[in-house]
Structures are given as C-alpha cells and as structure tokens.
C-alpha cells in the first residue's frame, strides 16, 4: 500500500497507523485509535521508536519508506527503541528488524526485553541492550535519553527523550484513543481530547497514580519538564502544547476533583431508578454537579471517566437472590481494579437499594466499595416501591451527600 509519513520536526516523522474501525480496546469502547511509531534521523543513525498492532503493518512499512524518500536516503534502520512490550506496540517488532536491518541495535528496559520473549518466544536470538534512567545514545547530532517509567502503565514502560528537539516519546502515558486525519492536539477541540485523555487515564493509568506523581516530580526536579516542547504518545494526538496534558496528569494523579457526584444504578422494576432520580435532585439542590449512568445501557468505562473527577458517588442496585442485581457487578469489578484511593482522593459513597423481603444488596455493595477505597457515608435500603415519604428521604440523602463533599 501507499501511505505518507508525517513530519513533526526536522528529521522526525510519525510513521504510525490509523485504526479507523477500532471500537474496543483494553476492555472499553473507543471511537477508533492510532498506534503511533516514530522515525528519527540522526547524522549517523536512523532510529525507529516503537511499533504497531496486528494486521496493520502495511501502513507502518509504507510510512517508513515514505519518510526515507522524503529524506532522500536509502532505507536502513540502525536502531530500534522499544518503550513498552505490549502487543499493540510490538506485534511487528521482530519482523521489522528482519525487514530493515537484522544487525540493528535494539534498546529497551530490562523488563521489556523479558516480556518480549515471554509474549513472542522469538526474541532470545536478538541482543537487546537494556537501559534505564540516565542512559543515552548518540545518533549523530542528536541524543536519545531514556527515562524509566514503570507502571505507566506496565512494569516495563519507559520514555525516550529527544534532547535537542525537546520531544518526549512517552508511549502509553499521555495518550488518547482517538483516530483523526490530523496529528496534533491543536487541530481538534481540547474539550474532546481532554475527555478522551481523561477516559484513557481513568481506565488505564489510575492504578499507577503514585508512580505518575513521582515521575512528574522527577521530570520537574531534573529540569526536563521545562525542556519538553512536544509530547508524542503511542495513542492519539501529538501534544504540541505539552503543558495542557502535563497539568491534567498532575491533577488526576493527585486526586484533584470537582464538586461533582456520579450517580450509578441498575433497576428491575424501576424502584431503584426512582431512588436514583430523587437522590440526583437532592444533590442538585445543593448546587453540586450530577452525572447519571444506568448500567442497563451504559458502559463502566465512561462511568469510571466521570468518577475520576468526582468527589463522591451514589450507587444503587435492587436485591436479587440476596445479592446486588448482577449487572452492577461489572461496575464493582472495574472500581476495584482502578482503585481511586491511590490518587490520594478518598471519595464518599451513598448506597441505595430496593428489596422484596430479605435484602442483601447494600451489605455486599458496602463491602465491595470499601475494598475499592471508597468511604461509605450512608445507605438507603427500602422495601419494594418507594412512596412519597421514601422519595423525600432519598432527596435528603442526596442533599446530605452533596453537603459532605463541601465540608
């Protein structure tokens, strides 16, 4: 096929792929995505940073060859840098090395080298130079500096910094699952990109928030943040205005939230739904923002995105066979996986439920929420269909939850 490489700086090209029809990844819904790889031309060596996902190598190879054509050079890649071994960034790494230079130098973290072999079982025949923070390579007039970034978002992750140009190749950190024809952040609405970056962080990076805080502080203390002119992640748009996404990551990693409450519910015969709507009215009566999700139709990934910046949640499910209604289970597993408490934000939670006779949903939800790091402040457990007195009680509990986040 034919595809054009996109120049992001003199001698630096985006050679990634567009996955226009991707609709799910990492277990959540996406509007398409990109798998970004980058080609850097030094005076002495040419470097490919990262790779792409299955069934998409034709785009990668076409863009690599176009970049060499734009530079007027014969095709030979001298150095391969692999920032992370996950398959969406490494599927064709071995094949690309064989195709463009079997004798090339390869650089990766120690964990990345190990993980590549464990995933593909064909890397033991290649010599991989393992690197960590402070290691550098000179490619002729240009320096690549490596920065260990474990748990952003795998133990093998690292960043590569092109020192002279101020470009941080950050792999999964600072990414977004979007698929657009233009490459930069400034080409699209920051409202949309900010939401997609927030969704990406909430679902994939939250658990690594302690490391994100440490890494952001380290980059600041070492003077690297002030040198960054561009952030080139492995998914989505390239940040020509890096301060925007750096500020967002600082906020998310530190648990900075809005006066906002996310209401999540499922329902059988609409009784729990009625409680949810009244609780939302109570919250709004205190001037606090509400977002509402029904697990019958909404996905946990979007819920998680809003919870990231919420100071509290209200979660409700009817009792079914002495347990919460099963569809709420996916939500609870998701909350336990991401564990927002690691952001240094302990969020309040209100539990509500409608039962027929014995109940059981509230106790189970409380246990699950506490294990996921939430502070359960109140609950409402009713029989069957709420009457006006119960609806008034639900309103008041919503108002009290709202007041609790402002205290």
| Residues labelled catalytic | 26, 84, 86, 88, 153, 172, 200, 235
Neighbours of 21 (CB within 10 A): 7
Distance CA 326, CA 162 (A): 49
**Is residue 404 packed enough to be buried (19+ CB in 10 Å), middle (13-18) or exposed (0-12)?**
middle
The three-state secondary structure class of 374 is coil
Structure-token pair, residue 289: 């923002």
Q: Looking at residue 184, what DSSP letter applies?
A: B
Cβ-contact 199, 210 below 8 angstroms: no
Three-state secondary structure string covering 7-59? EEECCEEECCEEECCCCEECCEECCCEEECCEEEECCCCEEEECCCCCCCHHH
Residue 286: name the closest of 375, 400, 407 by CA. Answer: 400
Residue 404 is inside which H or E element, if any? helix 388-404
How many angstroms separate the most distant Cα atoms in the chain?
Answer: 79
Residue 272: name the closest of 255, 295, 297 by CA. Answer: 295
Percent helix / strand / coil, the chain, rounded to 5? 40, 25, 35
């Amino acid at each position: 096929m034919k595809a054009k490489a996109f120049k992001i700086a003199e001698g630096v090209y985006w050679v990634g792929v567009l996955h226009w029809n991707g609709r799910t990844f990492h277990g959540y819904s996406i509007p398409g995505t990109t798998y970004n790889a980058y080609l850097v031309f030094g005076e002495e060596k040419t470097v490919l940073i990262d790779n792409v996902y299955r069934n998409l190598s034709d785009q990668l190879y076409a863009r690599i060859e176009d970049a060499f054509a734009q530079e007027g050079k014969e095709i030979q890649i001298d150095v391969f840098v692999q920032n992370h071994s996950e398959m969406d960034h490494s599927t064709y790494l071995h094949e690309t090395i064989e195709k463009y230079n079997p004798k090339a130098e390869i650089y990766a973290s120690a964990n990345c080298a190990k993980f590549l072999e464990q995933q593909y079982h064909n890397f033991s025949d290649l010599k991989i130079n393992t690197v960590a923070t402070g290691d550098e390579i000179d490619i002729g007039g240009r320096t690549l500096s490596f920065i260990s970034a474990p748990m952003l978002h795998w133990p093998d992750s690292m960043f590569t910094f092109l020192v002279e140009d101020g470009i941080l190749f950050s792999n999964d950190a600072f990414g977004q699952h979007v698929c657009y024809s233009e490459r930069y952040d400034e080409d699209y609405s920051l409202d949309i990109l900010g939401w997609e970056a927030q969704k990406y962080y909430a679902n994939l990076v939250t658990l690594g928030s302690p490391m994100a805080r440490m890494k952001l502080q380290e980059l600041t203390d070492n003077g690297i943040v002030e040198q960054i002119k561009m952030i080139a992640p492995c998914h989505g748009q390239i940040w020509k205005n890096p301060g925007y996404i750096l500020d967002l990551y600082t906020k998310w990693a530190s648990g900075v939230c809005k006066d906002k409450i996310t209401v999540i519910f499922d329902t059988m015969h609409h009784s729990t739904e009625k409680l949810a709507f009244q609780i939302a009215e109570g919250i709004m009566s205190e001037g606090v923002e509400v977002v509402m999700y029904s697990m019958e139709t909404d996905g946990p990934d979007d819920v998680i995105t809003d919870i990231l910046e919420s100071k509290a949640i209200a979660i409700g499910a009817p009792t079914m066979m002495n347990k919460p209604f099963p569809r709420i289970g996916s939500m609870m597993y998701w909350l336990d996986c991401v564990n927002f408490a690691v952001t240094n934000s302990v969020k309040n939670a209100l539990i509500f439920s409608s039962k027929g006779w014995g109940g059981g949903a509230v106790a189970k939800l409380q246990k699950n929420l506490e294990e996921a790091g939430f502070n359960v402040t109140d609950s409402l457990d009713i029989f069957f269909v709420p009457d006006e007195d119960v609806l008034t009680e639900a309103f008041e509990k919503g108002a009290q939850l709202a007041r609790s986040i402002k205290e």
